Amino acid sequence: MTTIYEDLDLPNTATPWPAQVRIRLAGAQGRPVLGRSVTLNTTIVGELVLSTGTGFYNAGVWPAELVPDSDILPSGTTYRVERFFPGCQSYVSFIQVPVTGGPYTASSVEDDPLGSITPSALAMHAADVTLHGGGIELDAAFISSTVTVTGTGGGLFSAAVAGLIVTVPDLARPVYLIGHIPAIQPPGGPAEASFGIYPQANTGIFAQLDGVPVPDMDTVTTRTVDPFARLAPHSAGDYVIAGQGSGGNLTARVSASVLNLASLRAVAA
């Protein structure tokens, strides 16, 4: 439970007549809602009615022990606080009760009234990337430092670039794999190299989904290539960018930096 309190004053800082304070759990548009405390395993219902103090030390003050919003199901609730003065209008605000700390003044945890609380079925529907338009990023990997890789098997296999791996879920729609590689010729290395997209389980040349040679390589200038692959629906798995040099020297170097990240992204089509 978390303590919330408030000290009510008139515009001239005088203490108002004792006010009645009504606190209840609120859902969409501030409407009353039932809630369940996960920790206490109880149902939160009805209105808590308080009166502000009239003594010398607590005049105009009300305190309340409330269940934190993060411990309440459905998630996303708020509390509606109404101050009612006899013969005057009432004043309403909404608060989000934190789970730790406090005591808190009501104004320090004030929030806007909720527009809506999404039912769980609608929330699941909205989160299902198989039902909605493309352009949803499924996974992404970035590196910002130089990585050197060495292929094997006489050029039949490339070497995966450490850190550039993405996981694609099983979707009934195509997925785009979009890579970006800043490359440079390693000292003493070949002046030709290529980078491509592969399933993590097989970086052999015949499993390559796309391969891009690095143009005009030298040891001074960073060149960029952007391998790209389209996966058919239901192509779940892990995918990597791998590179190799040429001839007998299969070394290739990724020249990534904070100003030119190497990356691999998986995007739903």
| DSSP letters for 174-221 | -EEEEEEEEEEPPTTS-S--EEEEEETT--BGGG-SEEEEPTT--SSS
Q: Where are the alpha helices (DSSP H) in 44-104?
A: none
* Cα dihedral sign, 189-192-196-198: negative
Mean pLDDT of the chain: 88
d(C-alpha 151, C-alpha 157), whole Å? 6
Place of tokens 């299969």: 250
For residue 122, give every residue at least 6 positions away whose Cβ sits within 8 Å of its Cβ, in sequence order, or none: none
Q: Is 121 helix (H, G, I), strand (E, B) or coil?
A: helix
What angle is formed at CA 100 by the lines to CA 95 and CA 103, rounded to 5 degrees? 65
Confidence band of 86 (pLDDT split at 50, 70, 90) = confident
Pair 168, 231: CB distance under 8 Å:
yes
The tokens for 198 are 């592969």
Reported as a pLDDT band with limits 50, 70 and 90, residue 188 is: confident
Q: List, in order of start, the domains of the chain with CATH numbers.
A: 2-120 (2.60.40), 137-268 (2.60.120.760)
Identify the pLDDT of residue 17: 75
| Distance separating alpha carbons of residues 193 and 191, to the nearest angstrom | 7
Unique residue bearing structure tokens 């608060």: 95
Percent of the chain with pLDDT over 70: 89
pLDDT of residue 125: 64
Is the pTM higher than 0.75? no
**Residue matched to tokens 């203490």:** 15
Q: For residues 162 and 240, what is the distance between their CA atoms, to the nearest angstrom?
A: 9
